[in-house]
Structure 1
Amino acid sequence: MTEWIELGSVTAIPPRGARCVNTPSGKIAVFRTAEDQVYAIENRCPHKGGPLSEGIVHGASVTCPLHNWVFDLATGEAQGADEGHVQTYPVKVDGGVIYIAPDVLMQMAAE
């Protein structure tokens, strides 16, 4: 059984907002939608390296703050005419607390 690592309270992220989580292997952007869905993706846009945690959250997507590329938070796929993707990471919310599996962090370290 996998032990999940606590990232913090879901209320620490405003609706349609994000927080950046620093790990030994890189940065993960954790998003909360207006519908209280929580997603985690890599924090770097593949286009020009923009910090996605500083982007605009709309529906289940985020728009990069540098050049307006849009990414689906569930799949990491670029939307519209843009091509590319960002890594997604499984998270869960239990009792108002966000968790990520430690194997995700180990996977990041191996890359």
Structure 2
Amino acid sequence: MLLIEKYGDLMPRKVLSVSEALSHPLRRKIVNYLLENPGLSVRQLSRILNVSIGSLTGHIIILERVGLIKEVRNGRRLELYVNKNYFIENINKFWNNSLEVDFDGLE
């Protein structure tokens, strides 16, 4: 059973944007580690980040809900991956929106 199926109902249903989901430093670390090391398990990631599995699971569910990461079952093992196309698309949108500057009136 995937984490979001097992624990998703325990998490608040507030829909976050990608930028809100990435505003938490631990969630940024999770995405970064999964970009560099695709296919890590929750247990491996909890050891690397020195975070409890319970705390990590909540952050993973948030990242799954916004579409940034996905779980893939490989036999009995549950592997985590960044949804790279979605990540790149949303990071580009974030930067494009962040860099819009109104230069009218500046002299």
TM-score normalized by the length of structure 2: 0.24
TM-score normalized by the length of structure 1: 0.24
Larger CA Rg, structure 1 vs 2: 2
Higher strand residue share:
1
